[in-house]
Amino acid sequence: MNALWLTHQVVARFLKRGGTCIDATAGRGYDTAFLCELAGDEGSVTAFDIQQEALDSTRQLLEERGLRARLILDSHENMAKYFESESIDVILFNLGYLPKGDHAVYTRFESTRAAIESGLGLLKRGGLMSVCIYYGGDSGYEEKEALIPYLSTLDDGQYQVLMTTFHNWKKDPPIPVFIIKQR
């Protein structure tokens, strides 16, 4: 059991066949592929990344698995340019740097916060935003230290914010966060 497993379990509850979703951090494409499998051919998956290398990897993985998604080379903070408000079932963020990529390029609090704010406007009522906070190592602690207090400011009349902890892990456990937009 790890953060990825937990995230996928929760996402699978919210994303049904024919659903519409966004992978805000495409990386090597494993989450994008998972979303494509859940949404099926009738669904729609869009993945963002700021690195061409990430989108190339994602495209290759999708081709190998016979899956299809729209891949956009842009920062996730601009996601609202591409969608109508309240049109998305699930938005997924896996923060940090590209695995086996450039460790100097990683998600930063300011753009992540802006992306979460836009993404919440795009979510349907009853929809899910999953944000897995990875930190430590080359990406440091700044993003996590700022995100946790920020997430506690989201209006509790509109959103439920569930933060999970791997309580007995010795070092830098990832923090899967699930934000559900109230119906």
Ligand X SMILES: C[S@@+](CC[C@H](N)C(=O)[O-])C[C@H]1O[C@@H](n2cnc3c(N)ncnc32)[C@H](O)[C@@H]1O
Taking the complex as a whole, the smallest distance from the CB of residue 51 to ligand X amounts, in Å, to 4
Q: Are strands 123-133 and 175-181 parallel, antiparallel or unpaired?
A: antiparallel
**176 near ligand X, rule: CB under 6 A:** no
Cβ distance to ligand X smaller for residue 20 or 46: 46
- List the one residue out of 102, 113, 107, 169 whose CA is nearest residue 140: 107
**50 near ligand X, rule: CB under 6 A:** yes
Binding ligand X (rule: CB under 6 A), the pick from 45, 46, 71, 76 is 76
Q: Name the DSSP class of 100.
A: T
Whole-Å CA distances, 49 to 13, 56, 155: 25, 10, 28
Q: Which amino acid is at 88?
A: I
Taking the complex as a whole, the smallest distance from the CB of residue 157 to ligand X amounts, in Å, to 29
Q: Which stretch binds ligand X (CB under 6 A): 13-21, 44-52, 116-124, 156-164?
A: 44-52
Binding ligand X (rule: CB under 6 A), the pick from 98, 129, 131, 151 is 98
Q: Which stretch binds ligand X (CB under 6 A): 23-31, 119-127, 140-148, 154-162?
A: 23-31
**6 near ligand X, rule: CB under 6 A:** no
d(CA 3, CA 18): 25
Binding ligand X (rule: CB under 6 A), the pick from 19, 44, 88, 96 is 96
Residue in the block written with tokens 């891949």? 71
Residue 38, both tokens: 């859940």
Phi, psi of 105 (to 5 degrees): -105, 110
Binding site for ligand X (CB under 6 A): 25, 27-31, 48-51, 54, 75-76, 94, 96-99, 105-107, 111
